[in-house]
Amino acid sequence: MGKRVIRARRFLSAEHAGTSAVEFALLAPLFILLLTGMTAYGIYFGATHSVQQIAADAARTALAGLNQTERQTLATRFIDLNAAGYPFIDRARLTVEAQDSAADGSQFVVAVRYDARDLPIWNLFRDVPMPDMTIARRSTIRIGGL
């Protein structure tokens, strides 16, 4: 009986035909989970960056206005005309507030909120904590130079 066990061990240890399939079966779900997670957060970070860039670009555009009303008009018009050019952004889901800073009258603030419910990432992971569905960013720019 001892010789049979030894022969069986030698036979099994020498056989490597299915090891790749077993390794793939063990690692593929984890690899796919990592890939979809990176894709989901990449889309979210791309949308977040786009919202921040919209706020910064609108603030720079508003700098040309002579008073608060004109600056608000310039910022809102810039966003209306250019929001579609930013990745992952739908203009209909953007909310814009542009006004002089209450704390410092020499600064102009553009605050942008984006309802990110339509991004495709929310249905990928039901039980995994995801970021907030509303992306809020703001940009402040000094009025009148240095």
Q: What is the pLDDT of residue 16?
A: 67
Tens digits of residue pLDDT in 23-70:
899 999 999 888 888 888 899 999 999 999 999 999 999 988 889 999
DSSP for the chain, written as a single string: -HHHHHHHHHHHHH--TTHHHHHHHHHHHHHHHHHHHHHHHHHHHHHHHHHHHHHHHHHHHHTT-SSHHHHHHHHHHHHHHHGGGSTT--GGGEEEEEEE-SS-TTEEEEEEEEE-TTSTTTTT-SSS----SEEEEEEEEETT--
User: pLDDT class for 91, splitting at 50, 70, 90?
Assistant: very high
pTM over 0.85: no
